[in-house]
């Protein structure tokens, strides 16, 4: 293998696949980036146990200025390689594989010789079947991930809850995440739907995918395989393993009748929650208390050592029974941030039953549910 390439274009591609590469892996070859050069162009691959990212740079990419002397493949320790390429002096870099998997990296007067690894020992990525594919716009996918992924469990005690549950049926894609204290659910309509599916994708994979997707204009093509899912854009293949096991039935968790309703502007309510949580974070129980009366709504927070806070809240509308309820302000903050700048309606049954948050206008396509904390 021997080729010359525009350095900044090459760095762009390296950065994408490096997202999948961890220095903590137990499989040494996965600390490397796999470089495969064919007559068509340059394939880069990075992988860890959970996700794999592959990019392709065509010989027809004008910015890449790819000049092929001879094709071939190699694996190079990713962390160093990235650092080296970033610090080279000239606009282009030449890579040449020598004997014993040594790689000569040349740019101007600087010449590195680094030890590579045999690319034949790099694990193979799953083969994609060209069926069962779903296309959705990138901006819709990243929004859906942002609205749900924070609710996945951070604990491995119930591994299935560390993922987001995706089900496709009747031309609707439903995404649900819950850590058993709170739940986030979003439904989006899809056109030209593929076969129905029911899968659980690790939350960490989705967060990384979201960070890797840059071009909001684009479409992403989703393919489901035996135990993998592939997200394919114009310049990236993003693979994630799927979680095995049955996701619990979450539909029955969402209540349908309520006794108290209150509407808030999200930014106003969020700012008050953030103030109240400053002190609650220091207490043994991280809770704040919301008291909804017929003529005033007050939020309380306190920490025995530091002090206390109370704030009379500005709300848009209130109806139903008076209520005092305590909850973890961090769950509330996460939920509110997922809505952004809009009006939401919070609906309660009682101080001990989960309550829901939904956009005040626009129906039930997005719902957040939080379980309160019993204080007596």
Residues that bind a copy of itself (CB under 8 A): 77, 80, 83-84, 87-89, 102-103, 109-115, 271-272, 274-275, 278-279, 282, 305-314
Contact assessment for residue 230 and residue 128, using Cβ atoms and an 8 Å cutoff? yes
Token pair listed for 258 = 């309520």
CA dihedral for 155, 156, 160, 165, sign (positive or negative): positive
Instruction: Scan for tokens 């027809």, then name that residue.
Output: 60
Distances from the Cα of 329 to the Cαs of 77, 265, 357, in angstroms?
43, 17, 14
In this complex, which beta carbon is closest to a copy of itself, that of residue 88 or of residue 177? Answer: 88
Do the bridges between strand 288-292 and strand 32-37 make them parallel or antiparallel, or are there none, so unpaired?
unpaired
CB of 109 to a copy of itself, least distance (A): 4
What values do phi and psi take at 271, rounded to 5? -60, -40
If the CB atoms of residues 189 and 307 are measured against a copy of itself, the closer one turns out to be 307
Q: What's the min distance (Å) between Cβ of 277 and a copy of itself?
A: 10
Question: In terms of CB distance, is 254 or 298 closer to a copy of itself?
Answer: 298
Smaller CB separation from a copy of itself, 272 or 292: 272
* Tokens describing residue 346: 């919070």
Q: Are 264 and 313 in contact (CB under 8 A)?
A: yes
Fill in the DSSP letter of residue 282.
T
The CB-of-303 to a copy of itself minimum distance in angstroms stands at 9
**Least distance (Å) from a copy of itself to the CB of residue 45?**
20
Distance CA(354)–CA(177), nearest Å, equals 15
Q: Which residues contact 129 (CB under 8 A, 6 or more apart)?
A: 223, 225
Q: Which two tokens stand for residue 7?
A: 């350095």
Question: Rounded to the nearest whole angstrom, what is the least distance from the CB of residue 301 to a copy of itself in the complex?
Answer: 9
Rounded to a whole number of angstroms, the minimum distance from the CB of residue 103 to a copy of itself is 8
Toward a copy of itself, which CB reaches closer, 306 or 342?
306
Choice between 121 and 169, CB closer to a copy of itself: 121
Residue 46 forms beta bridges with which residues? 53
Q: Which is nearer to a copy of itself, 103 or 346 (CB)?
A: 103
**Residue 310: CB minimum distance to a copy of itself, A:** 6
């Amino acid at each position: 293998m021997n080729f010359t390439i525009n350095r900044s274009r090459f760095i762009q591609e390296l950065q994408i696949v490096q997202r999948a590469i961890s220095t903590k892996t137990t499989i040494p070859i996965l600390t490397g980036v796999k470089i495969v050069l064919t007559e068509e162009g340059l394939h880069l691959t990075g992988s860890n146990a959970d996700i794999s990212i592959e990019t392709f740079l065509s010989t027809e990419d004008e910015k890449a200025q790819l000049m092929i002397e001879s094709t071939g493949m190699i694996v190079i320790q990713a962390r160093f390689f990235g650092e080296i390429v970033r610090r080279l002096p000239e606009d282009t870099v030449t890579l040449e594989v020598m004997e014993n998997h040594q790689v000569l990296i040349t740019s101007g007067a600087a010449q590195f010789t680094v030890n590579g690894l045999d690319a034949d020992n790099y694990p193979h990525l799953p083969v994609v079947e060209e069926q069962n594919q779903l296309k959705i716009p990138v901006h819709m996918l990243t929004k859906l991930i942002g609205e749900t992924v924070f609710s996945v469990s951070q604990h491995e005690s119930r591994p299935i809850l560390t993922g987001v549950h995706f089900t496709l049926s009747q031309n609707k894609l439903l995404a649900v995440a819950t850590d058993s204290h709170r739940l986030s659910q979003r439904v989006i309509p899809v056109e030209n739907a593929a076969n129905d599916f029911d899968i659980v994708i690790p939350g960490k994979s989705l967060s990384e995918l979201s960070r890797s997707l840059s071009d909001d204009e684009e479409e992403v093509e989703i393919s489901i395989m035996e135990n993998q899912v592939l997200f394919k854009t114009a310049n990236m293949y993003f693979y994630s393993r799927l979680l095995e096991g049955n996701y619990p039935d979450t539909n029955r968790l969402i209540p349908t009748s309520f006794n108290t309703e209150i509407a808030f502007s999200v930014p106003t309510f969020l700012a008050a929650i953030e103030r109240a949580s400053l002190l609650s974070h220091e207490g043994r129980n991280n809770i704040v208390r919301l008291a909804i009366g017929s003529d005033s709504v007050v939020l309380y927070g306190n920490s025995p050592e530091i002090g206390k806070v109370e704030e009379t809240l500005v709300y848009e509308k209130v109806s139903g029974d008076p209520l005092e309820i305590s909850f973890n302000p961090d769950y509330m903050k996460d939920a509110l941030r997922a809505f952004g700048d809009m009006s939401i309606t919070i609906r309660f049954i009682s101080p001990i039953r989960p309550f829901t948050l939904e956009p005040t206008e626009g129906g039930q396509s997005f719902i957040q549910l939080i379980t309160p904390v019993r204080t007596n």
